[in-house]
Amino acid sequence: MRRILKAVLTAIWFMALTLPVMGIKLNTLDQTVQWRFDRILWLGAGVFALAVIWDWCFSRKARGLPLLRLPKGWGAGLRNLSGRPHLKTGGLAILTLFMLVMPLTSSFYQTNIMISALLYVMLALGLNIVVGLAGQLVLGYVAFYAVGAYAYGLLYQFLGWGFWACLPVGGILAVLFGLALGFPVLRLRGDYLAIVTLGFGEIVRLALQNWTSLTGGPRGISDIPRPGFFGLEMDINASTTYVYYLVLAAVVITIIMISRLKNSRVGLALQALREDEIACEAMGIDITRVKLSAFALGSCWAGFAGVIFAAKTTYINPSSFTFMESAMILSMVVLGGMGSIAGVVIAAMILILAPEYLRAFSEYRMLIFGAIMVIMMIFRPQGLISGERRRYRISALHGAHNGGRA
Amino acid sequence: MDIQFFIELFFGGLTRGSIYALIALGYTLVYGIIELINFAHGEIYMLGAFTALLVAGVLGVYGFPVGGILIVAALAAVIWCAAYGYTLEKVAYKPLRGAPRLSPLISAIGMSIFLQNYVLLAQTSDFVPFPRLLPEMEFLEYVNYVMGPSDFLILLVSTLAMVSLSLFIRYTRMGKAMRATAQNRKMALLLGINADRIISLTFIIGSGLAALGGVLIASHMGQVNFGIGFLAGLKAFTAAVLGGIGSIPGAMVGGLVLGLAESFTTGYFSGNYEDILAFGILILILIFRPDGILGKAKVQKV
């Protein structure tokens, strides 16, 4: 009963709070006011329901219970399923087949959506190295993406270079930018680092926008060629399919590289850095090198993704590289689970594909992104799938318990 | 050098700087107490401008006397924004107390995006004209090349707000409790200070000041949009860092310095690079002197 009362009070509070912005519609031309109390009432009802759920979630969290409990037997069943290796390979095979056949069976439009979803997967995985593994909150990630895209655009425009020549150049340039940002910010940590990288991202965007003689200013660069395939002539459909396979290959390579990286010496050093910078330094890890390699690795993927993006859209301008873009990529990493590859891939897919297919809520996309970031931080900071570290079993210890069959 | 042009730029910078200072105070107060960059603070400022616009519109339509509209609208904006700030803290930051430091920051970024889109969806994505509500001030006639009525009002109101804030922090019980909490939260708790209430109070004061800034700038610029909070927030944050984050006089000094710097670069060089200048200052300060002009150096403890 107390909960209900509390929820009612919360609902009333929010109705009063949102009264001006939600409830008043001004018509400045003919000087009339339109009161929209229906909206306020709906909002009140919504807040009431949310407040009840919110309170319930908190009481579960306070008692240390999981938010959702699977029905009896399901938990064990799921664990059983995930334990079976051929089920996993079978699932992967189906997924691979689907991804391979997808552009051949679906429309041009859907292939295009899938390409941009895959590009975001690549970006999110790249940011995951910096934020998820190394724990360095970078808010200007989109700057490196812009560097890659403009590298291709400008090299084509002024020197006539093709896609394949620009792909490595875009990556290298992005790495150089990453290092240029990384060096000065070595001493910074946490929120200061976040703000400096945000400023860096905005400076790159503003420079692209104002340096009209080089970058074309707000008009951007158009007529960038799609990637070639040994000089083969392709129409727009064929070349979209081609770009699709290109991105798919890039994503697969990214996933392989990052999962190899994660348990490598560098990867473990990155994770040590995330857990505790001072302890990490005390263990004899060269912090400067580790931080710089995190920046270099992260920005490299953004550079590649940028080149592919320019080739896909054939038109780039500074408004594709705003802070909102960085925030969106960050929310993919946060939602997926920092440091978890599978989680980030799934989150990126959901966040890009869901608004495309559910047109009704595509308007609310950014609103929901923002809410997700807050809610995830409060109730599940580890994300959908928490990034598990590899566990090392020491067989001598285990041997004592189960007779050496570790 | 043209002295008149110089004076014009100087007062322009002062006006702009005092708005930055008003918003920067919110950042600095919150950072001083819970060490959080309240990323959504710029959005509160935007909400302030919008609330004032809507309330002024309603009052105008129902025939409220013109002279009082601005005062009532500003009051409404301050009250509502204080409520927004209070709610923001309760929803997005309070559950995260004691969490790793990046969690509340990400939550704050989420809140900022949320609030922007809330206004975008509930109102409009266009620029909305802000009604002209300022009275004519005849005594300004002989200085009107440097100062219009809105500049005068901005300087007057922001000076008053800053002086009263300083007095409040310095002399009242609440102000002393705030300073104590900022110095050492645990010790303050032991001395019987209700830290939760102090944190709420900080958000209320900071948001109220931001709303005031929003109303003033909206009546100065003459238009409002859902996106104005982002840039203004970042610049005010720059001002707070420039002066030394956590320091109240620092935020005021930082705001004025930033405003003047922007005004002079725009005047003598080019307006295109005004935003780059602010971000450049921010980055340089954070890298070379993260404690700002008036801040104290902090020692990193294990």
State the Cα–Cα distance between residues B114 and B134, nearest whole angstrom: 32
What is the C-alpha end-to-end distance of chain A, expressed in Å?
A: 53
Going by the DSSP 8-state scheme, the letter that residue B293 receives in this structure is T
The answer to whether residues A149 and A58 belong to one domain is no
The answer to whether residues A104 and A244 belong to one domain is yes
Gyration radius of chain A's alpha carbons: 24
- Residue A232 falls within a domain, yes or no? yes
CB contact A137 to B (< 8 Å) = yes
Q: What is the 3-state secondary structure (H, E, C) of chain A?
A: CHHHHHHHHHHHHHHHHCHHHHHEEEECCCCEEEECHHHHHHHHHHHHHHHHHHHHHHHHHHCCCCCCCCCCCHHHHHHHHHHCHHHHHHHHHHHHHHHHHHHHHCCHHHHHHHHHHHHHHHHHHHHHHHHHHCCCCCCCCHHHHHHHHHHHHHHHHHHCCCHHHHHHHHHHHHHHHHHHHHCHHHHCCHHHHHHHHHHHHHHHHHHHHHCHHHHCHHHCECCCCCCCCCCCCCCHHHHHHHHHHHHHHHHHHHHHHHHHHHCCHHHHHHHHHHHCHHHHHHCCCCHHHHHHHHHHHHHHHHHHHHHHHHHHHCCECHHHCCHHHHHHHHHHHHHHCCCCHHHHHHHHHHHHHHHHHCHHHCCCHHHHHHHHHHHHHHHCCCCCCCCCCCCCCCHHHHHHHHCCCC
B window 103-142, beta carbon within 8 A of A: 103-107, 109-119, 121-123, 128-129
Q: What is the 3-state secondary structure (H, E, C) of A103-154?
A: HHHCCHHHHHHHHHHHHHHHHHHHHHHHHHHCCCCCCCCHHHHHHHHHHHHH
The answer to whether residues A126 and A18 belong to one domain is no
**pLDDT for the residue A396:** 57
The answer to whether residues A341 and A277 belong to one domain is yes
- Read off the pLDDT of each residue in A286-311 and give the average, rounded to a whole number: 90
Would you call B234 and A58 a contact, using CB atoms and an 8 Å cutoff? no
CB contact A22 to B (< 8 Å) = yes
Is the pLDDT assigned to residue B234 strictly greater than 50?
yes
Q: How confident is the model at residue A403 (pLDDT cuts 50, 70, 90)?
A: very low
Would you call A20 and B54 a contact, using CB atoms and an 8 Å cutoff? yes
Nearest CB partner across the interface for A20, out of B55, B92, B287? B55
- How far apart are the CA of A300 and the nearest CA of chain B, in angstroms? 23
The answer to whether residues A248 and A347 belong to one domain is yes
- How far apart are the CA of B201 and the nearest CA of chain A, in angstroms? 17
The answer to whether residues A132 and A219 belong to one domain is yes
Is the pLDDT assigned to residue B274 strictly greater than 80?
no
**pLDDT for the residue B290:** 75
Contacts (Cβ under 8 Å, ≥6 apart) of B283: A184, A196, A199, A200, A203
Find out whether A374 and A324 touch, Cβ atoms under 8 Å: no
- How far apart are the CA of A23 and the nearest CA of chain B, in angstroms? 8
Would you call A330 and B96 a contact, using CB atoms and an 8 Å cutoff? no
In this complex, how many residue pairs, one in chain A and one in chain B, have their CB atoms less than 8 Å apart?
160
CB contact B236 to A (< 8 Å) = no
CB contact A360 to B (< 8 Å) = no
- How far apart are the CA of B139 and the nearest CA of chain A, in angstroms? 32
SS3 state of residue B128: strand
- Residue A76 falls within a domain, yes or no? no
ipTM: 0.83
Find out whether A143 and A205 touch, Cβ atoms under 8 Å: yes
- Residue A254 falls within a domain, yes or no? yes
Would you call A210 and B273 a contact, using CB atoms and an 8 Å cutoff? yes
User: Under CATH, to which class is B2-288 assigned?
Assistant: mainly alpha
The answer to whether residues A103 and A185 belong to one domain is yes
- For chain A, the domain total comes to 2
- Read off the pLDDT of each residue in B118-129 and give the average, rounded to a whole number: 84
Phi-psi region of B244 (alpha: psi -120 to 50; beta: other; left: phi over 0): left
Domain span at residue A19 reads: 2-62
Would you call B106 and A278 a contact, using CB atoms and an 8 Å cutoff? no
The answer to whether residues A370 and A281 belong to one domain is yes
B window 155-214, beta carbon within 8 A of A: none
> Which chain A residue has its CA at the smallest distance from B39's CA?
A195
Q: How confident is the model at residue A86 (pLDDT cuts 50, 70, 90)?
A: confident
What CATH number does the domain containing A166 carry?
A: 1.10.3470
The answer to whether residues A57 and A96 belong to one domain is no
State the Cα–Cα distance between residues B60 and A33, nearest whole angstrom: 10
Would you call A377 and B119 a contact, using CB atoms and an 8 Å cutoff? no
Q: Which residues pair with residue A35 across a beta bridge? A: A24
The answer to whether residues A213 and A348 belong to one domain is yes
Find out whether A175 and A300 touch, Cβ atoms under 8 Å: yes
pLDDT tens figures, B124-176: 888 888 777 776 666 666 666 667 777 888 888 888 998 999 899 889 998 99
Q: Name the strand (E) or helix (H) holding B129.
A: strand B128-129
**pLDDT for the residue A233:** 65
Q: At what angle do helices B102-122 and B228-243 cross, to 10 degrees?
A: 150
- How far apart are the CA of B218 and the nearest CA of chain A, in angstroms? 16
Find out whether A145 and A127 touch, Cβ atoms under 8 Å: no
Q: How confident is the model at residue A406 (pLDDT cuts 50, 70, 90)?
A: very low
Is the pLDDT assigned to residue A405 strictly greater than 60?
no
- Residue A84 falls within a domain, yes or no? no
**pLDDT for the residue A216:** 79
- Residue A399 falls within a domain, yes or no? no
Nearest CB partner across the interface for B99, out of A58, A135, A381? A381
Tokens matching residue B231: 């840039």
Q: How confident is the model at residue B43 (pLDDT cuts 50, 70, 90)?
A: very high
The answer to whether residues A158 and A26 belong to one domain is no
Tokens matching residue B16: 């702009």
Q: How confident is the model at residue A82 (pLDDT cuts 50, 70, 90)?
A: low
The answer to whether residues A169 and A26 belong to one domain is no
**pLDDT for the residue A404:** 41
Of B87, B196, B93, B122, give the one whose Cα is nearest residue A373. Answer: B93
- Residue A387 falls within a domain, yes or no? no
